[in-house]
Amino acid sequence: TADADFDVGLEPDTVYVRSDPAFTLETEAALPVAINLGGDIETSTTVLSDALEAEAAADSTLQIIVAAMGLLALIVGGVGIANVMSISVIQRSAEIGIRRALGHGRSLIAWQFLIESVAVGLLGGLAGALVGVGIVVYASRIAGWVFVLSPELDLFGIQLPSHYVGVPTLYLIGVGAALLTSVFAGLYPSVKAARLEPLETLRLG
């Protein structure tokens, strides 16, 4: 035995047993008897598969909560962008009227405001990604954890690589979601700006 060979004076306190999944309960019930062999050693058994299933369920719940918070943040951000761009349309009504009077088409006006909306969303997405990484790194240092990116990203059961063209996938997803949100948020203000008549905008300005 190891005790006789190395004279360490230690006794095992943990035993791992692999069993057929069909006989997990029977094995769990028989282990204390087999270990005690008539003695009074206090034993406890834990089925690792149950622990792994519980861990997977907890991870899934956490992913849902984080996704819900992210979706809420996108909605709030989209509403904010739409409000800012709508106010910008009102404040720049004179500019819009002058450009329309000079022959600029409705589509050009609409594209201008849509591009501005996308630019705001892009800057917000990049800033959010950087702040998020900073918070995670800072929290990891406080907790004594090591900040790493796994080789694969499991997103609601979908396996994705952790990087695309050297850029972390999570960053791309976050910035892409911000861009998509800004596009939808900028549609109404851009259409509103394009539909303003030159005389009306000059009067409002």
- Mean pLDDT (whole number) for 93-117: 89
> Residue type at 17?
V
pLDDT for the residue numbered 11: 65
**CA 180 – CA 130 distance, rounded (Å):** 19
pLDDT at 171 over 60: yes
Our measurement of the distance from residue 43's CA atom to the centroid of its chain's CA atoms, rounded to an integer in Å, reads 42
Name the token pair of 7. Answer: 């004279």
| pLDDT tens digits along 2-57 | 555 555 556 666 777 777 777 677 776 777 766 666 566 666 666 666 677 777 77
Asked if residue 97 has pLDDT above 70, the reply is yes
pLDDT at 64: 86
Between 177 and 34, whose confidence is greater?
177
> How far apart, in whole angstroms, are the C-alpha atoms of residue 88 and residue 132?
29
Write out pLDDT tens, residues 106-160: 899 999 999 999 999 999 888 888 888 888 888 888 988 877 665 556 666 667 6
Cβ neighbours of residue 75 under 8 Å, at least 6 residues apart?
181
Residue 157: the pLDDT is 63
pLDDT top residue among 83 and 37? 83
What is the pLDDT at residue 4?
A: 56
The residue behind tokens 């000079």 is: 102
